[in-house]
Amino acid sequence: MMTLAKKLLSAASGQPKLKAGDIIICDVDLAMIHDSGGPRRVKPILERLNRKVWDKNKIVVVTDHYVPAESDETRAIQALTKKWVKDQSIENFYDEQGICHVVLPERGHLTPGIFCVGGDSHSPTGGAFGAYMFGIGATEMAGVLATGSIWIQTPETILMSWENQLPEYVTAKDMMLAMCGKIGMGGGRYQAIQYAGETVRSLPMQERMTLSNMAAELGAQVGLIAPDETTIAYVEAAGGQVPKNWRDFQIETAEETSNIMYFDAANLSPQIAAPHSPANADDASEFRNIGFDVAYIGACTGAKYIDLVAAAEVLRGRHIADGITLKVAPASLRDQNRATDDGIMQVLQDAGAEFLSNSCGICAGYGEDRLGENQVCISSTARNFKGRMGAQTSAVYLASPYTVAASAVTGTLTDPRLLMGE
Amino acid sequence: MPRLWRLEGTIDTDVLAPGYYMKSPLPELAKHCLEAVRSDFSHSVDQGDVILANANMGVGSSREQAAEVLKYLGIAAVIAPSFAGIFYRNAINLGLPVFTIDEALMDMPTLVDGAKVRFDFDTAELRILDDATSISLIPFPDFLKELILDGGLVPHLEKRFQTEGSSI
């Protein structure tokens, strides 16, 4: 039996047999671009090639980086984006609806078995739906938009096998930071990582998305999860079309999988990654008396509906510590509306949270809320590289929404279980 | 006569295309290529030279200039036991030939820095002229050979669309 990665690539390339290292050409089912790396970068190349997009129905455009546009320069980028979308007759355009990696599945664009590319490094998020999805640069994206195909080298699969159930207040983000700490940012070797096992199967889709999203931080090309009933229920609810043969892609382990790493969820504690790498992860309880200026709940990997619910669970009836700010940027407008209807946003507001727009915001170092000189932040985002979220002298700790919320209450980095009482 | 540049340590994108010179045009950036590890490289590298690097060649950022600058300097092939994924894709899409080599072959005594070599892109054969030995690497499939020979993805597509256009 083939690995899930090979099964997906076999379907996309029409080649029945594949071995790791084979270079093949795949047909692209979906190409996603955003306002930063999208139209403004691909337009000149398509013009040089004298080409329009190959299939307007297979392209999704999202504005999420320069949102809100606060300068003449960023307003010009948004204007260019809107005009290009119109010129190319692209209907799948989500303007200021939230972050691309969250908007794409919530609008039903991702389904098991498809082959997708995204013009953003966190595009592996699509792997949570059993789609082969990875990030490419603007030059390659222009090639895809002109031809509808792309070459790829068939990867090996590195299986991350998780057994047992996660303890209370321990999440997919903690699993991910623990994996970053264990294999490092280059550990994925640009191969296919697949998350499997009982723990992964019991995670809801938005938690699975956190695992796939941060395959980028492991240096992998994709972060796949075999589709199951949870996947299908999500895709159907989002209005997506589930292929009849989706069970063909329900592959966790294959005989040829040689590289398997085992993890025990039951023994996992909340994790915090110290500046300036996600690989600097350790148990949250090891970080004592470390203060900070900003607590941030944001980004595609840390401010989905499920993340807002987690933060509210900690913040309900509590208030943030004096001297710090808590900023929340819900990952999509739809998730924000749902959290408003459920009273989650009210809980966050009562606890002292300030709300930012549904965009990449501080995580991408964009906008006026970026971190200032020497500011320290604890953040539910994916990356804490030096200077990423603002000034070169700023520093970022990464953690789950539970841990960020608990730390916001105490004012120092805190294991949420201490606050909530074990 | 083309030579082999055997690079020690891990070669990252900052070493290939130093951040400070990223704002400069390619010819200026090229003067600083590899200067942190081989100060003699940029002024003595010549057309047809081959680079042999250690594993995880090109690790770091996604900057396309890291590959572009080696092509500009005339490098005929970059050979390493493994490449960072984005560098590998960028190199091919910019027309720079990159090949993986079996880690065990790295210990061959003839693969020394400065060895006189000749690289055949079509067969992916590296000939070491000093002792008339050769190493066979895995050649690219035809469509990627054509893409690389055309100078990368964009010139390749330009040519393809022109041909398609004229045939209609």
Enumerate the domain spans of chain A: 4-264, 271-420
B74 in a domain, yes or no?
yes
pLDDT at A380: 98
Q: Does A51 touch chain B (CB under 8 A)?
A: yes
**What is the sign, positive or negative, of the torsion defined by CA atoms of A199, A200, A201, A206?**
positive
Nearest to A84 by CA among A139, A50, A44, A48: A44
Model confidence pLDDT, tens digit, residues A203-227: 999 999 999 999 999 999 999 999 9
Q: Do domains A4-264 and A271-420 have the same CATH topology?
A: yes
B102-118 mean pLDDT:
95
Q: Do A137 and B86 touch (CB under 8 A)?
A: yes
Q: What gap in Å lies between CA A2 and CA A20, rounded to an integer?
A: 11
Q: Which of A21, A121, A146 sits opposite B157 (nearest CB)?
A: A146
- Say whether pLDDT at A258 is over 90: no
pLDDT at B165: 64
Model confidence pLDDT, tens digit, residues A8-29: 999 999 999 999 989 999 999 9
**Number of continuous H segments (helices) and E segments (strands) in chain B:** 7, 7
Identify the band that residue A421 occupies on the pLDDT scale cut at 50, 70 and 90. confident
Predicted ipTM beyond 0.95: no
Number of domains in chain B: 1
Nearest to B93 by CA among A23, A229, A420: A23
Backbone angles phi, psi at B125, to 5 degrees: -110, 130
Cβ A140 vs Cβ B156: under 8 Å: no
Nearest chain A residue (CA) to B93:
A140
Model confidence pLDDT, tens digit, residues A58-86: 999 999 999 999 899 999 999 999 999 99
pLDDT at A368: 84
B65-92 mean pLDDT:
95
Chain A, 24-43: which have a CB under 8 Å from a chain B CB? Answer: 25
A-chain CB neighbours of B154 within 8 Å are 45, 48-49, 139, 142-143
pLDDT at A422: 55
Q: What gap in Å lies between CA A78 and CA B2, rounded to an integer?
A: 49
Query: In terms of residue numbers, what domain contains B52?
Result: 4-140
Model confidence pLDDT, tens digit, residues A313-324: 999 999 999 999
Lowest model confidence (mean pLDDT) among A129-133, A280-284, B82-86: B82-86
Q: Do B141 and A23 touch (CB under 8 A)?
A: yes
How far away is chain A from the Cα of B1, in angstroms, using its nearest Cα?
A: 32
Model confidence pLDDT, tens digit, residues A120-173: 999 999 999 999 999 998 899 999 999 999 999 999 999 999 999 999 999 999
B156 in a domain, yes or no?
no
B146 in a domain, yes or no?
no
B116: CATH: 3.20.19.10
Q: What contacts A263, CB < 8 A, 6 or more positions away?
A: A160, A161, A162, A163, A175, A178, A179, A197, A199
Q: Do B158 and A48 touch (CB under 8 A)?
A: yes
Angle, CA A188 vertex, CA A214 and CA A58 arms, to 5°: 60
Model confidence pLDDT, tens digit, residues B23-71: 889 999 999 999 999 999 999 999 999 999 999 899 877 788 999 999 9
B131 in a domain, yes or no?
yes
Name the architecture of domain A271-420: 2-Layer Sandwich (3.30)
A-chain CB neighbours of B143 within 8 Å are 25, 151
pLDDT at B163: 83
B153 in a domain, yes or no?
no
H or E element in which residue A74 lies? helix A72-87
CATH entry 3.40.50.300 includes domain A4-264: no
A-chain CB neighbours of B83 within 8 Å are 190
Model confidence pLDDT, tens digit, residues B129-165: 988 899 999 999 999 999 999 999 999 999 999 887 6
Cβ A391 vs Cβ A372: under 8 Å: yes
pLDDT at A386: 85
Q: What gap in Å lies between CA A400 and CA A172, rounded to an integer?
A: 8
Lowest model confidence (mean pLDDT) among A107-111, A155-159, A255-259, B123-127: A255-259
pLDDT at A255: 76
